[in-house]
Amino acid sequence: IYIHRSGRTARASSDGCSIALISPTDRSKFSSLCKSFSK
């Protein structure tokens, strides 16, 4: 797994978007990471 912190995707009160591309083999690891970040 490669983790990169998305910087400021939106500036000056504009909307922003960040996209993560996940392979099928990393899906369970990504799910675990998302759960730990939401705590």
- Predicted TM-score (pTM) of this structure: 0.46
pLDDT at residue 9 in the model? 64
pLDDT at residue 38 in the model? 78
Cα 10 to Cα 13: distance, rounded to the nearest angstrom: 7
- Write out pLDDT tens, residues 1-39: 566 667 666 677 777 777 778 899 989 988 898 888 876
**Phi–psi pair at 11, nearest 5 degrees:** -130, 150
For every residue of 1-39, DSSP letters joined together read: -----------TT----------GGGHHHHHHHHHHHT-
pLDDT at residue 24 in the model? 92
